[in-house]
Structure 1
Amino acid sequence: MQNSDQPIAQALPSHGVSLGEAFRVWLRVAALSFGGPAGQIAVMHRILVEEKRWISESRFLHALNYCMLLPGPEAQQLATYVGWLMHRTLGGIMAGGLFILPGIVAIMGLSWIYALYGKIGIVAALFFGLKAAVLAIVLEAVVRIGKRALKNRILIGIAAAAFVAIFFLDAPFPLIILAAGLIGFFGGRAGLPQFQAGNHGNDAQDNDNLLGEHLPAHASPNMGRSVRVAAIWLTLWLVPVLALVLILGRDYVFSQIAIFFSKMAMVTFGGAYAVLAYVAQQAVETYGWLQPGEMLDGLGMAETTPGPLIMVLQFVGFMAAFRDAGALPPLLAGTLGGLLATWVTFAPCFLWIFLGAPYIEVLRGNRALSGALSAITAAVVGVILNLAIWFGIHTIFGNVQAVEWGPFSLDAPVWESVNGWALLLSGAAILAMFRFHVGMLPTLAATSIAGLVLYWTGVIA
């Protein structure tokens, strides 16, 4: 019996989590990845750090800070990073790929329905209750991460400044992260204790995780490996783009989709909302892919289905090819156009992680870098709080209005547009999770069922 068990024991990584078990967990993370980056990061934090204890708080935040600096959806890249840490490149592809798979399937199905039948109000009604639970999950993430990350007044001040900058001053997200990083870098380099890792979460619970705090063998940076990674992922990303341009020409719809969304993949710092206005303008005015207002319909799909909000680009690619199908059947062309937009959007995300993560991992003990990432962690708390408030306003209120006061501006809720049922479900979800410590899944299930009941009884349209 001992001999038959030996090969299995040797096949398991040192942390003891098999690839099959990881697959099931990442599939669960993907299925629950609602609510934009704040909600998705909250779900991952809850499952990976609190429940499974796969990775420590400080390592989770270290990885998150790096992903926040990259173009593209930070939550999907964070999943790829942790998957890579746990099970090498295959684990990263599995975690990152599964993270977007439910969104790909959902957006594609909804795009078909939209193209054939027009607006689909049932989708918003279907996920009405789900949004209430997501709001509670996001708020819980702010509290959990804030308690662990904001261990002194300087870090609290950075978090507050980041919130004010992004919520009231509409400061660019990359500028906020850069400013926080510079403050932390010089503070850490000067040896200020407020910026050292031990002051924001490196406690006993941090050491109680399966991955441990050591550097895995595959995470050691190697120039030869870096060159191979860059060559492989640049080929996978750009060769299809070049092939389409050479075979079909630059003016063909598939070539336009490949080039345009490859450019977008390079500049999506700060999440989907940083570029959606530009994408909408280009898709309507320059390319004629969408009709005015249709971008909001696509965004509604992305907001109410699992996966990153940037998945809305699949809807844009679908409609572009559907309306300019050429010799192909329109639905087939739309499907290919949507998948092409998704591919050139997410292929670079794997490149950024597999190329850069080893260097970020080996620098975890660097005092200046630790200080920079400590400050970025604090700023991220402020940014997530901003996202939580934004998500809450748009969940509970039907309309917002721009309010300006000197240099300050914000989208304030129109109080007359409050949705009483949304407010009631959100309050119940928050009470359940914070007061009675009800789990994430039961809360999601209860609010989803409540939303469906309200729809079936005609209370909500």
Structure 2
Amino acid sequence: MVEVPVQPTFSQLLRAFWRVGLLSFGGPAGQIALMHRELVDERRWVAEEEFLHALNFCHLLPGPEAQQLATWIGWRLHGLRGGLAAGLLFVIPGAVIMLGLSMLYVAATGLGWFAALFLGVKAAVLAIVVQALLRIAGRALDTRFKQGLAVAAFVALAMLALPFPLVVLGAGALGMLVAATRPHWLALKPGGAPAAGPRPWRSTISAAAVWATVWAAPMVLVAATLGTHHVLWDIGTFFSQLAVVTFGGAYAVLAYMAQEAVQGFGWLSAGEMADGLGLAETTPGPLIMVTQFVGYLAAFRSPAPFTPLVAGLLGAGLTTWVTFAPCFGWIFTFAPWIDRLAQATRLKGGLAAVTAAVVGVIANLTVWFAGHVLFPAFDTSVPGWGFDWRAGLLAVVAGVLVFGAKWGVIRVLAVCAAGGLILGSL
């Protein structure tokens, strides 16, 4: 006998996703596991098969898959207002906390104890990124072809300095071609029967038009009032582009974001980028919330015609808007196609190839972080090339706690931050 899912009231949905939003630590794996336990196992609002089907669908989309899964569940249970409520409640707690931490970070910059604290945070982040690299590689690289794609992506980024969007989109195009001729190279399973019924073109076009307008609205306002040479225009344009190529999770785009934000725009330093990731690791919600930290600092440091605080708030708000508005747009536009997309072999092939390439992207991120954390004053003319032994020691401690003791992110960050304070006093 097939169990019929329970239909919650809208107020029950709000309470459930408020709880999920507050407890969604641990990255996408932990967030998806939390939603599964809360909504499938305990409340039985969504059937197991539906949940997994929707999760596979969300993996096809750019952006944080856990937030998009929450939006889809809300849409499935209560239509548009349910999707908006679930998606917003998944994001808002982390966004508010991240904004507060960004403001405190700027206020405390320059203090000796604060620099020592974040010495430990950066060392812990390095171990966490290595853990993410190994976890994703173990799951994604199950064929020789995928392993080759990962190596090629690393070489393209680390040695040839090719643009990140080109690498990701190129891997996706290659995956679609391979899926049509050699699907076993990507370990693709045969698709099922095509979905029956009329194609939902009308609702798709309507939703796409509405959410494209929502996405662009603040950018139109910035262009009309401040012009296209203002820092807010640069912030909105850059993070809008980032939202379109955010396949494979936040770690996949961090190196590209850091490269552009640090070297391209000069919004912050490499060390501050690592600090921002450490702050994002401590907050609930999607890890891509680190973009809000970058947007806050970028606007805070080029505030005219506003005060630094007001400019920072506007930068953080605009960054969050252009990062997450597309996520709602993808769900409301493509959710009616979920059954059809699940059978799209070429699309799944493109996604599998992108996921494999993301391993190389994260490997490049790991090298980038390691260089800036362990060699903050890199200089080949001095003994040790500017190696920071305190960061090296704390990174080893973090590695032991992450891989040996299997500690969670928050505990590792806390111990390493305390270690940074101790070593910083030496």
Aligned CA distance change for structure 1 residues 393 and 48 (closer, same or farther; 3 Å): farther
The percentage of counterpart residues that share the same residue type is: 24
Q: Distance in 2 between matches of 1:310 and 1:332?
A: 17
Alpha-carbon shift at residue 332 of structure 1 (Å): 5.9
Q: Distance in 2 between matches of 1:167 and 1:332?
A: 36
Partner of 1:318: 300
Spell out the pairing of 1:123-202 with structure 2 (5 A cutoff). 123-198=114-189
Alpha-carbon shift at residue 378 of structure 1 (Å): 0.9
Alpha-carbon shift at residue 163 of structure 1 (Å): 1.5
Spell out the pairing of 1:29-428 with structure 2 (5 A cutoff). 29=24, 43-49=27-33, 63-64=58-59, 66-67=61-62, 74=63, 77-88=64-75, 89=83, 90-111=85-106, 113=107, 119-120=110-111, 122-198=113-189, 222-243=200-221, 249-250=225-226, 256-268=230-242, 269=245, 271=253, 274=256, 299=273, 302-306=276-280, 308=288, 309-311=290-292, 312-321=294-303, 323-325=304-306, 330=307, 333-335=310-312, 337-339=314-316, 341-342=318-319, 345-346=322-323, 348-355=325-332, 357-358=334-335, 359=337, 362-400=340-378, 415-428=384-397
Q: Distance in 2 between matches of 1:96 and 1:26?
A: 7
Q: Distance in 2 between matches of 1:414 and 1:364?
A: 56
Please list the CA deviations of residues 213-264 of structure 1 after superposition, one character each: whole Å capped at 9, or x if unmatched. Answer: xxxxxxx984444344344434444444545665xx455x9x9455443332
Aligned CA distance change for structure 1 residues 245 and 399 (closer, same or farther; 3 Å): closer
Q: State which drifts further: 100-109 or 224-233.
A: 224-233
TM-score when normalising by structure 2: 0.72
Alpha-carbon contact 1:65-1:376 (below 8 Å) kept = no
Alpha-carbon shift at residue 374 of structure 1 (Å): 1.4
Q: Distance in 2 between matches of 1:167 and 1:360?
A: 36
Corresponding pairs, count: 378
Alpha-carbon shift at residue 371 of structure 1 (Å): 1.7
- Which structure 1 segments of 5+ residues have no match? 1-7, 33-42, 68-73, 200-219, 285-289, 403-412
Alpha-carbon shift at residue 189 of structure 1 (Å): 1.0
Q: Which amino acid aligns with 1:134?
A: V
Alpha-carbon shift at residue 380 of structure 1 (Å): 1.0
Q: Which amino acid aligns with 1:264?
A: F
Aligned CA distance change for structure 1 residues 367 and 346 (closer, same or farther; 3 Å): closer
Aligned CA distance change for structure 1 residues 22 and 110 (closer, same or farther; 3 Å): same
- Which structure 2 segments of 5+ residues have no match? 41-47, 76-82, 191-197, 247-252, 281-286
Q: State which drifts further: 255-264 or 167-176.
A: 255-264
Alpha-carbon contact 2:70-2:90 (below 8 Å) kept = yes
Aligned CA distance change for structure 1 residues 227 and 196 (closer, same or farther; 3 Å): same
Alpha-carbon contact 2:402-2:408 (below 8 Å) kept = yes
Aligned CA distance change for structure 1 residues 336 and 370 (closer, same or farther; 3 Å): closer
Please list the CA deviations of residues 253-279 of structure 1 after superposition, one character each: whole Å capped at 9, or x if unmatched. Answer: 9x9455443332343357466467766
Alpha-carbon shift at residue 282 of structure 1 (Å): 8.9
